[in-house]
Structure formats: C-alpha cells, structure tokens
Structure 1
Amino acid sequence: MKHLILIILVLFTDPVQLAKINGLKKEANQAYQDGNFKVAANKYSMLRDSLGVDEDEISLNLAHSYFNLGDTANAKINYQNVISSENKELQSIASQQLGVLAKNEQKLEEALSYLKNAIKANPKNRDAKYDYEVVKKLLNQQQQNQQNQDQQNEDQQDQKDQEQNQDQQQNQDQQKQDQQKEGDQKDQQNQEQQKDSEKKEGEKSEEQQQEGEKSEEQQQQEMDEATRQKLEEMNISEEKAKMILEALKNNEIQYIQQRKRQSSQQPDSDKPDW
C-alpha cells in the first residue's frame, strides 16, 4: 500500500521537484558514505522537513548522522520514528541503535529491552544479538556489584552499630565506675567524719574527765583547807589531829574485835537466853 502511494505521488509530482528530491538524496547519501555526517544530516533534514519526503530510510540515515555527530537527543528522536516501521529490518536496526544509546548511558535494563525487540524484529541481526549478550553480562555484573555494595553497606552498618553498642557499653561501664568511685569517696568521707567525730568526742570526754579530776582535787583541797581552818579555830595542830584520829581508829578496831569474840561464845544453857 505504501509503495502504491509512492507511485501515485511520483505520477502526480512535478518532474522538476522529483529531480530535486532525487538529486538531494544522492548528495545526502554520498555525504554519509564519505563520513561528512554534518552535511548528510542537513540534506536529510531538508528532504524530510522542506521537501516533505517521509521515508523510513531517510529518517534512519538522519538518525545515524546525528549518532555519528554525537547528537544523541536528535538521534533518539529519529530512531523512535523508525521502530514502528513496517520494514522489520529497518525496525530492528533502529531498536538496536536505541539499545546502544541506552547502554552508553548505563541504562542497561532499557538497553536490554530495545535489543530484545531488535532481535524479534529481525532474528538474523547478528549485531543486535552480540550487543544483547554484552549488555546482559554488564547487567548481571551491575546487579552483582550492587549486591556486593549492599552487602558491604550492610556490613559497615552492622560494624557501625556494633561500635556504637560498644561505645554505649563503655560509657555505661564508665558511669558505673564513676558512681562506684563517687560512692567510695563518700564512704571514705563519712568514715573520716565519723573518726573526727569520735576523736572530738574522745577529746571532749577526756577534757571532761580531766575537769572532773580537777574538780575532785579542788574539792579535796577545799576540804583540806576547811579542816585546817577548823583545827586552827580549835587550836589543834595538824599532827595532834592525826594522832587523835589514829587513836579513834584503834579504839574502833578494838571495839569491833571485842564484838566478834562475844558473838562467838556459847550461851550458858542453865541461864535464860534473855
């Protein structure tokens, strides 16, 4: 049907216009073959945009020209225009090129999808099969690297968590040691305070005892002084007073001894006990 439309267009196209189109196609193809992709891109664009030539071959060559110029944005647009072509061979080439562009951008899953479509469209496309295997290996390697990176991140996180737990445990142990040390210091202070208190109490008791002894001694001295004064009033010397006291003590002893002898004698049984 498409070829019929082209034939009809050719029949109703101005011969001058047709000659211009054919000449421009020839120039564009020659520039492309010579590697002059900038000229080729300009001429293919002119054919499609200015002269209204809507052919898949021109869109594909235009895309190739942009691809070789490094203009990936315009290359993608024109390859996209071809992947829905009825020509399976052209469709396969366009899908393959989109897969290559995606691979270059490290979009490996997207690249693998385009390359699958390229192989489905044309199973004889060896280049598409080769690129598919390359991208598949790269994707597997990327996934493995991602798994390794995830595992490494997990290990690092586990190590970090372990270090944090160790730090927390060390902090807790240090806090316990500080609390124990503080408690020991308080106990020591309490013991020292208790010792000081006991020492002060001892010193106070000793002072009180000394004061008591002094008080007793003072009382004795006062009593002795009073006795001397009394003896002086009675006109008795201290020596004479001692002799009198000694005599009184001896008399008291004799009296006690006599009482003991009397109590030890048996009462006369013939006399009443009264």
Structure 2
Amino acid sequence: MKSILATILSIALFGGFNDIATVNELKNRAKKAYNSGDYEKALGHYIMLTDSLGVKDENITLNLANTYYKLNDTTAAINNYSNVLSSKDRSIKTVAHQQLGIINNKNKKFEEALSHFKESLKADPTNEESRYNYELLKKILEEQKKQQDQNKDQQNKDQNKDQQKNKDQEQNKDQEQNKDKQNEDQQQEDQKNKEGEQKDEKEKGEQEKKKEQGEEDEQKKEQKPEEQEGKPEEEKPANQDPSFSEKLKEMNISEEKAKMILEAMKNNEIQYYQQNKRKAKKKKDPDKPDW
C-alpha cells in the first residue's frame, strides 16, 4: 500500500495521471518489480494502470493475470486470462490459453486443461511449452482411459465369472435336486416292487395252502366210511380228568390198577374192530348173485 501511494505521488510530480510518460513509467516499474519477484509491488503498479489510470491494454491485463497467478490468487488470475482469450494478438491469446491450461491441470480438470493447451497451439504452433504440456497431458489421459478400460474389462470379466459361477452353482443344485428326486423315486419304486413281491408270495402261499386243504378234503371224501368210523377215538389219559383221582379214591382202586383195566379194555376194543375189518374184506362167491 505504501508503494502504491508513493507511486501516485511520484506520478503527480511527473505531470499528471494522463501523461503517456507516466503510463510508460508505471509499466516499466511494474515489469521491473515482476521480474525481480516483487509481485506485490508489481500488482500495485498494474492496478494503478488499470483502475486508477483506466488504461485499456491487453498486455497489461495479461501481466496483471500473471501477477495474480504468482500470488496464488487463481480466481483473479482466471478472470483476467479469460478477458484476453479473444485477443487478436496471437502471442497474448496463446499465453492466456496456456496459463488456463496449467491452472485447470493443477485443479485436476484434465479435459479442460487439454482443450486450453490445444487452443494455445492453434493460436501459436511454435509455443513449445504448450505443445509439451498438450502431448504430455494427452498421453496421461490416454493411459488413464486405457487403464479405465482395462479395469472395466476386468470388472466385466469378474462379473461374468461370478455370474457363471452362480449359474454353475444353480445347475449343480438342480442336478443334485434331480438326483435326490430320482433316488427317492427309485426307492419308492423298489419299495413298491418289494411290497408287490411280498403280496404275490403271500397270495401264492395262501393258494398253496388252499390247494393242500382241498387235497386233504378230497382224501377225506374218498376215504371209506368204515375206515372213518372204525378208527378208534384217542382217549384222553385218565389223569387229565381232574375228578378221576377222587373217583378212584371212592372206589378204593389205585391209579395203576385203573390204568391196567383201561389198557385191557382198549386192547379188546382194537381186536374187535380188526375182526370186523377182516370180515368186510372177505371175497364173495362169483357163482352166487350179489343179492
């Protein structure tokens, strides 16, 4: 601020604000301060020229933008660079685009930066700094795009791989389910066949049993009446009758004696039946009539 006031006083002493010599003096002082790295002082001179003296000069605007850039005031720098982008002076236009490309590149606005570098080369194809920045940034963006495409392809491959894996798992699951169902159906079929075989065996056994019973019934029917009637009934042992022992006690007969008597009676009965059987088998006289 003090330097700006001193500048104003010195200008007044040299003959007023509108004097061309005064403007040229401020330009020289601003340029000298900028080149020496005294950007604050240079900024004061440029502001004096543009605001106080109302100088309309694209070179001063470009230098003012450069001074703001050196002071890290990128917003003010962008505004002043933008004011000279349409300049007919190619040297001013190429620098303005170049500097906007650098600022956008630092702000990671790579597409905008590349566009400004390209416009800078259009304005001045001999601008080697813009060409270098353009080629370098273009290569970086191409590598990034290539890497992005590779990542995208890898993601697609991984996604397809996961989808195929899920599909294979589903297919395996379906196959297992079908296999389990087939096993279950086979077990049911085996059980059904087993039950059918058991039923057939049971029916066959019942048929054989009925057949044997029928044969026994036929044999009984064919058996002679005398054989059926002549067969003595089996006697139950005397000692099976619970009252038999009491009766023997009343008759004063021992069990052994009673068994002897029963045995003798049984033998006599057998001899009687055998005699009748022999008489029945005696041949008839063929010369005599049946009646």
Of the three residues 113, 128, 131, the one matched with 2:130 is 128
How does 1:34-45 map onto structure 2 within 5 Å? 34-45=36-47
User: Partner amino acid for 1:238?
Assistant: E
Task: Work out whether residues 99 and 111 of structure 1, in 8 Å CA contact, stay in contact via their aligned partners in 2.
Answer: yes
Separation of aligned partners in 1, 2:239 and 2:103? 129
Task: Work out whether residues 108 and 138 of structure 1, in 8 Å CA contact, stay in contact via their aligned partners in 2.
Answer: no
In structure 2, the CA distance between the partners of 1:272 and 1:233, relative to structure 1 (3 Å rule), is: farther
In structure 2, the CA distance between the partners of 1:46 and 1:152, relative to structure 1 (3 Å rule), is: farther
Query: Unmatched 5+ residue regions in structure 2?
Result: 1-13, 185-236
Residue 17 of structure 1 is matched in structure 2 by 17
Task: Work out whether residues 239 and 245 of structure 2, in 8 Å CA contact, stay in contact via their aligned partners in 1.
Answer: no
Q: CA offsets per residue over residues 175-227 of structure 1, 9 Å max, x none?
A: 98xx99xx9xxxxxxxxxxxxxxxxxxxxxxxxxxxxxxxxxxxx99944321
What's the TM-score, normalizing by structure 2?
0.64
SS in 1 for 2:83: helix
| Structure 1 residue 40 displacement after superposition | 1.4
How does 1:241-256 map onto structure 2 within 5 Å? 241-256=258-273
Separation of aligned partners in 2, 1:258 and 1:145? 128
What's the TM-score, normalizing by structure 1?
0.67
1:258 is the counterpart of 2:260: no
Q: CA offsets per residue over residues 28-60 of structure 1, 9 Å max, x none?
A: 111112122222123212322232222111111
Task: Work out whether residues 238 and 244 of structure 2, in 8 Å CA contact, stay in contact via their aligned partners in 1.
Answer: no
| Structure 1 residue 246 displacement after superposition | 0.3
Query: Unmatched 5+ residue regions in structure 1?
Result: 1-13, 184-219
SS in 2 for 1:265: coil
| Structure 1 residue 114 displacement after superposition | 1.1
Separation of aligned partners in 2, 1:270 and 1:123? 164
CA RMSD of aligned residues (A): 3.3
Aligned residues: 218
Task: Work out whether residues 74 and 103 of structure 2, in 8 Å CA contact, stay in contact via their aligned partners in 1.
Answer: yes
How does 1:1-274 map onto structure 2 within 5 Å? 16-19=16-19, 20-158=22-160, 223-269=240-286, 273=290
In structure 2, the CA distance between the partners of 1:67 and 1:222, relative to structure 1 (3 Å rule), is: farther
Residue 201 of structure 1 is matched in structure 2 by none
Separation of aligned partners in 1, 2:127 and 2:162? 52
In structure 2, the CA distance between the partners of 1:154 and 1:22, relative to structure 1 (3 Å rule), is: same
In structure 2, the CA distance between the partners of 1:265 and 1:164, relative to structure 1 (3 Å rule), is: closer
Separation of aligned partners in 2, 1:256 and 1:50? 170
SS in 2 for 1:18: coil
| Structure 1 residue 158 displacement after superposition | 4.7
Separation of aligned partners in 2, 1:72 and 1:222? 137
Give the structure with the higher percent helix. Answer: 1
